[in-house]
A and B are shown apart, each in its own frame.
Chain A
């Protein structure tokens, strides 16, 4: 396979003079970098959809009944659809395309030193399916009944019957979009795994592969191994919705808990599918900006694999109050608490990497450090929820919402911002503005905490989730609880406003930013040995050879504090 990839490289160059048209270049490209950009920009556009929906329903919670500027009055059905769409979009159409598809596509060939993915056309098909799924999801807002309103977990019987969810067509469109999106990521995952197995640069052994690439591979394998039951479940649910079968309908002898199992058997590994790439991004950034070797490379790798394996044994902790067998609740409590060990180990390793390093607080480094701090809070609060006894009290409160967002926001947004600010010079050949980058950083992190700490407090006081208008529940309106909701919503508005800073910085830098050198951060990994931005085929000077691991920073035998993977071993003797 490796030989085939090298042969393709030559072939591509033979055709290099043919200038592709707009459609061929931007919509029909098989170049991994272009497909990565397509995923990135689609993910960013969908983030605007996810951001707008949360704006509308948080306004309703803080100021019930008001006409939300830019949206209008949020009805009860609207509220359900907005919450469902926010959850689905942020997880399936923002976190996954940006963290796995965009970064996996962009980084894997560049970081392992080859010219493209091994299945470029499969890659293109993957994006096209993903785009269609996004269009179907957005279109579902405009069908009779509106978008699906049965939450991103789509539990039957609510989701199985139009008379319950009130969104007959919207439910099926949501389900179809999700299934299509999974097919897209299966194609992408197969491509990633095969590429890393077969197309590594000469000399790149398994332990020379950068951690972020390993993480994306492990995540892809987790995804491929866990998604099958849910795709099968989605088809069964579609049959329930459209053909009147009763797989999940208790009135017909079906079992709604079965859906929950099928969903969470995928849904929990899914958390690690997005977490691991973010962990990988952080590993790359903290080594570069503390000028230190990654502390315990093999430990991180084995820990990530261990986390992946364990993640298949924890799913039913989402169902402690669903009436599952109490014997299983014990088992799943134990496995859930166990999985916090490897994740905590990774966090310790990262702190060990920082210790004694010469730390540079650039924008990407700030994001990486914030990831560690904020994710830690999410992880620690998860321990309360993992214990089935405590979860019975917390499960339907805002405590879960706050915990979830303390894990997912660092993954999906802090991780993505870290990656975008770090690889922007390579992706677009321009430098981003550091000052505005830092303004955006603080303008995101501070309001983020002001959104979700109030939600923790509300949860502890028993604030129930999934309520459209708290005025109907006097017990949940007393003693400052509404004030906390208003604080969270206003903080959200501030956070959303600061994203404008990011978008302006992104696009102004893209068109008018100073030109980026080949290796602006003095990093070791292979992508920094390609021009910025890399041309078609990635390495015009010829595909690189690899001589060492990716994290040789501040090596005592060397004058420079970095040692690129491509530099032959004889170099340090000369310097």
Chain B
């Protein structure tokens, strides 16, 4: 597959035209990356939250895209290679999404899951508030919403 990237230029062929970029093309991309680097360093210095987010993380994504497309040749690969990459990124999001609630919002060194506790308490309160449990059992069970029980 990577053979395409090194194939000698055949005029008129779209893929090959991309593949045979002269050195100056890569230098240009490198120049763009340098400019972006400056922006990503200067941006957060301003101290504005939104600007920091965009200039630090937003620009990092753009830089990653440029590197993958041009230096790692994704631009000249077959389309499914890009889809494979996107699938892997999607799986990463799935994994972080599933793991995050358990490992990101802990307190102290006892891996006390604050977020989960809050959710359980809120759930118990909501259940009592709608009168479902309250109606069934006459009154909410004493201590049902205490943090100790929830854990």
Binds A, one of B25-33, B98-106, B137-145: B98-106
Q: How distant is A230 from chain B, measured CB to nearest CB, in Å?
A: 11
Give which listed residue, B94, B95, B102, contacts A324 with CB less than 8 A: B102
Per-residue A-contact encoding for B83-111, CB less than 8 Å = 1, 0 else: 00001100100110011011100100111
Could you tell me if B120 and A229 are in contact, using CB atoms closer than 8 angstroms? no
Q: Does B115 contact A (CB under 8 A)?
A: yes
Q: Does B151 contact A (CB under 8 A)?
A: yes
Measured between beta carbons, the chain B residues less than 8 angstroms from A256 are 111
Q: Does B119 contact A (CB under 8 A)?
A: yes
Q: How distant is A330 from chain B, measured CB to nearest CB, in Å?
A: 10
Closest to A322 in B: B102
Q: Does B20 contact A (CB under 8 A)?
A: no
Q: Does B52 contact A (CB under 8 A)?
A: no
- B interface bracket (residues with beta carbon within 8 Å of A): 20 to 34
Q: Does A225 contact B (CB under 8 A)?
A: yes
Majority secondary structure of chain A interface residues (helix, strand, loop or mixed): helix
Q: How distant is B97 from chain A, measured CB to nearest CB, in Å?
A: 9
Q: Does B15 contact A (CB under 8 A)?
A: no
Measured between beta carbons, the chain A residues less than 8 angstroms from B70 are none
Give which listed residue, A250, A251, A328, contacts B102 with CB less than 8 A: A328
Measured between beta carbons, the chain A residues less than 8 angstroms from B102 are 255, 257-258, 261, 324-325, 328
Q: How distant is A221 from chain B, measured CB to nearest CB, in Å?
A: 9
In this complex, which of A258, A265, A324, A325 has the most chain B Cβ atoms within 10 angstroms of its Cβ?
A325
Within the assembled complex, what's the spacing in Å between the Cα atoms of A312 and B99? 13
Residues 20-56 of B contacting A (Cβ, < 8 Å): none
Within the assembled complex, what's the spacing in Å between the Cα atoms of A315 and B94? 11
Could you tell me if A315 and B103 are in contact, using CB atoms closer than 8 angstroms? no
Within the assembled complex, what's the spacing in Å between the Cα atoms of A332 and B103? 17
Could you tell me if A328 and B109 are in contact, using CB atoms closer than 8 angstroms? no
Measured between beta carbons, the chain B residues less than 8 angstroms from A327 are 101, 116, 119
**What is A's interface to B at a CB cutoff of 8 Å?**
1, 225-226, 229, 250-253, 255-258, 261-262, 265, 312-313, 315-316, 323-328, 332
Could you tell me if B98 and A328 are in contact, using CB atoms closer than 8 angstroms? yes
Measured between beta carbons, the chain A residues less than 8 angstroms from B95 are 229, 261, 265
Measured between beta carbons, the chain B residues less than 8 angstroms from A265 are 95, 98-99
Could you tell me if B103 and A261 are in contact, using CB atoms closer than 8 angstroms? yes
How many interface contacts (CB-CB < 8 Å) are there between A and B? 61
Measured between beta carbons, the chain B residues less than 8 angstroms from A315 are 98
Within the assembled complex, what's the spacing in Å between the Cα atoms of A226 and B88? 9
Give which listed residue, A225, A262, A323, contacts B151 with CB less than 8 A: A323
Measured between beta carbons, the chain A residues less than 8 angstroms from B116 are 323-327
Measured between beta carbons, the chain A residues less than 8 angstroms from B1 are 1
Q: How distant is B96 from chain A, measured CB to nearest CB, in Å?
A: 10
Q: Which 3 A-B pairs have the closest CB atoms?
A: A325-B101, A325-B116, A261-B99
Within the assembled complex, what's the spacing in Å between the Cα atoms of A250 and B123? 28
Closest to A252 in B: B109
Could you tell me if B101 and A258 are in contact, using CB atoms closer than 8 angstroms? no
Closest to A315 in B: B98
Could you tell me if B101 and A255 are in contact, using CB atoms closer than 8 angstroms? no
Measured between beta carbons, the chain A residues less than 8 angstroms from B87 are 225
Closest to A249 in B: B109
Could you tell me if B106 and A328 are in contact, using CB atoms closer than 8 angstroms? no
**What is B's interface to A at a CB cutoff of 8 Å?**
1, 87-88, 91, 94-95, 98-99, 101-103, 106, 109-111, 113, 115-116, 119-120, 123, 151
Whether A258 contacts B91 in the complex (CB less than 8 A), given A326-B120, A328-B98, comes out as no
Given contacts A225-B87, A229-B95, 7 further A-B contacts (CB under 8 A): A225-B88, A253-B109, A255-B106, A255-B111, A261-B103, A313-B98, A323-B113
Whether A316 contacts B111 in the complex (CB less than 8 A), given A325-B119, A327-B119, comes out as no
Q: How distant is B150 from chain A, measured CB to nearest CB, in Å?
A: 9
Within the assembled complex, what's the spacing in Å between the Cα atoms of A226 and B92? 10
In this complex, which of A1, A226, A251, A328 has the most chain B Cβ atoms within 10 angstroms of its Cβ?
A328
Within the assembled complex, what's the spacing in Å between the Cα atoms of A327 and B100? 12
Measured between beta carbons, the chain A residues less than 8 angstroms from B111 are 250, 255-257
Give which listed residue, B91, B119, B120, contacts A312 with CB less than 8 A: B91
Within the assembled complex, what's the spacing in Å between the Cα atoms of A258 and B103? 6
Could you tell me if A316 and B119 are in contact, using CB atoms closer than 8 angstroms? no
Measured between beta carbons, the chain B residues less than 8 angstroms from A325 are 101-102, 113, 115-116, 119
Q: How distant is A124 from chain B, measured CB to nearest CB, in Å?
A: 22
Measured between beta carbons, the chain B residues less than 8 angstroms from A326 are 116, 119-120, 123
Q: How distant is B133 from chain A, measured CB to nearest CB, in Å?
A: 16
Measured between beta carbons, the chain B residues less than 8 angstroms from A250 are 109-111
Closest to A316 in B: B98
Can you show 11 pairs from A to B with CB atoms below 8 A apart? Answer: A225-B91, A229-B95, A255-B106, A257-B103, A265-B99, A312-B94, A313-B98, A316-B98, A325-B101, A325-B116, A328-B101
Give which listed residue, A225, A226, A252, A258, contacts B99 with CB less than 8 A: A258
Within the assembled complex, what's the spacing in Å between the Cα atoms of A460 and B90? 39
Q: How distant is B75 from chain A, measured CB to nearest CB, in Å?
A: 21
Give which listed residue, A251, A258, A332, contacts B109 with CB less than 8 A: A251
Measured between beta carbons, the chain A residues less than 8 angstroms from B106 are 255
Measured between beta carbons, the chain A residues less than 8 angstroms from B94 are 312-313
Measured between beta carbons, the chain B residues less than 8 angstroms from A313 are 94, 98
Q: How distant is A295 from chain B, measured CB to nearest CB, in Å?
A: 29
Measured between beta carbons, the chain B residues less than 8 angstroms from A251 are 109
Q: How distant is A486 from chain B, measured CB to nearest CB, in Å?
A: 40
Measured between beta carbons, the chain A residues less than 8 angstroms from B98 are 261, 265, 313, 315-316, 328, 332
Within the assembled complex, what's the spacing in Å between the Cα atoms of A453 and B113? 38
In this complex, which of B103, B106, B113 has the most chain A Cβ atoms within 10 angstroms of its Cβ?
B103
In this complex, which of B95, B99, B109, B113 has the most chain A Cβ atoms within 10 angstroms of its Cβ?
B99
Measured between beta carbons, the chain A residues less than 8 angstroms from B123 are 326
In this complex, which of B1, B101, B110 has the most chain A Cβ atoms within 10 angstroms of its Cβ?
B101
Within the assembled complex, what's the spacing in Å between the Cα atoms of A109 and B101? 45
Closest to A265 in B: B95
Closest to B150 in A: A326
Within the assembled complex, what's the spacing in Å between the Cα atoms of A1 and B115? 52
Within the assembled complex, what's the spacing in Å between the Cα atoms of A153 and B54? 40
Measured between beta carbons, the chain B residues less than 8 angstroms from A1 are 1
Measured between beta carbons, the chain B residues less than 8 angstroms from A229 are 95
Measured between beta carbons, the chain A residues less than 8 angstroms from B88 are 225
Within the assembled complex, what's the spacing in Å between the Cα atoms of A505 and B95? 47
Closest to A313 in B: B94
Within the assembled complex, what's the spacing in Å between the Cα atoms of A8 and B17? 30
Measured between beta carbons, the chain A residues less than 8 angstroms from B113 are 323, 325
Measured between beta carbons, the chain B residues less than 8 angstroms from A323 are 113, 116, 151
Within the assembled complex, what's the spacing in Å between the Cα atoms of A225 and B88? 7
